[in-house]
């Protein structure tokens, strides 16, 4: 099914993200996981750290590539000649925002299609913010993030 882009801030990557990446990689020929800055959220991890974390957790998946882009998603998609964007949906609360984003993106570029992947129920409660909140109060995040990035995340909070 061609190529797709999975955009996000991945600050940091969670087991929920990885689940979406793994499942999507089985459907598409090639998946670009793209770190895009979200102006509404101030990042804790640097771009380099986020690239490194995503590379670590996807090193075993052949058709996944990690990239960073500063700017609009549709600009990145155009540059890569990809017209399929994949988003994860955790709850109704994600839907309203993602629905709006999908419509705006299609308004800006009618070629762009957005495909929603429904979360694995195991991870429906999981977000990068929850990981940061738990870690900052000294809670155990072992079940929330892939083991390959656990140390990198904890290093920020020690």
Interface residue list for ligand ADP (CB under 6 A)? 8-10, 14, 16-17, 20, 87-88, 90, 94, 119, 123, 126-129
Is 129 considered catalytic here? Answer: no
Question: In this structure, are residues 24 and 31 in contact, taking their beta carbons and an 8 Å threshold?
Answer: yes
Is 90 considered catalytic here? Answer: yes
CA–CA gap between residue 124 and residue 112 (Å, rounded): 26
Is 17 considered catalytic here? Answer: yes
**Closer by beta carbon to ligand ADP, 79 or else 97:** 97
Q: How far is the CB of 6 from ligand ADP (least distance, A)?
A: 7
Within the chain, strands assigned E span 3-8, 30-36, 64-69, 84-89, 113-118
Q: Which position among 41, 107, 122, 156 bears the catalytic label? A: 41
Closest CA to 105 of 67, 76, 68, 80: 76
**Closer by beta carbon to ligand ADP, 69 or else 123:** 123
Question: In this structure, are residues 145 and 111 in contact, taking their beta carbons and an 8 Å threshold?
Answer: no
Q: How far is the CB of 92 from ligand ADP (least distance, A)?
A: 12
Is 121 considered catalytic here? Answer: no
Which residues are known to be catalytic? 17, 41, 90, 128
């Amino acid at each position: 099914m061609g190529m797709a882009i999975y955009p996000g801030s991945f600050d940091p990557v969670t087991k929920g993200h990885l689940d979406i990446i793994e499942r999507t990689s089985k459907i598409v020929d090639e998946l670009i996981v793209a770190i895009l800055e979200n102006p509404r959220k101030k990042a804790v991890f640097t771009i380099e750290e986020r690239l490194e974390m995503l590379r670590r957790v996807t090193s075993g998946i052949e058709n996944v590539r990690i990239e960073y882009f500063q700017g609009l998603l549709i600009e990145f998609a155009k540059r890569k000649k990809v017209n399929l964007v994949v988003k994860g949906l955790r709850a109704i609360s994600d839907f309203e925002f993602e629905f709006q984003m999908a419509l705006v993106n299609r308004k800006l570029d009618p070629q762009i299609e957005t495909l929603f992947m429904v979360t694995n129920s195991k991870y429906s409660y999981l977000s990068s913010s929850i990981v940061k909140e738990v870690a900052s109060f000294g809670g155990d995040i072992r079940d929330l993030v892939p083991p390959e990035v656990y140390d990198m995340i904890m290093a920020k909070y020690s």
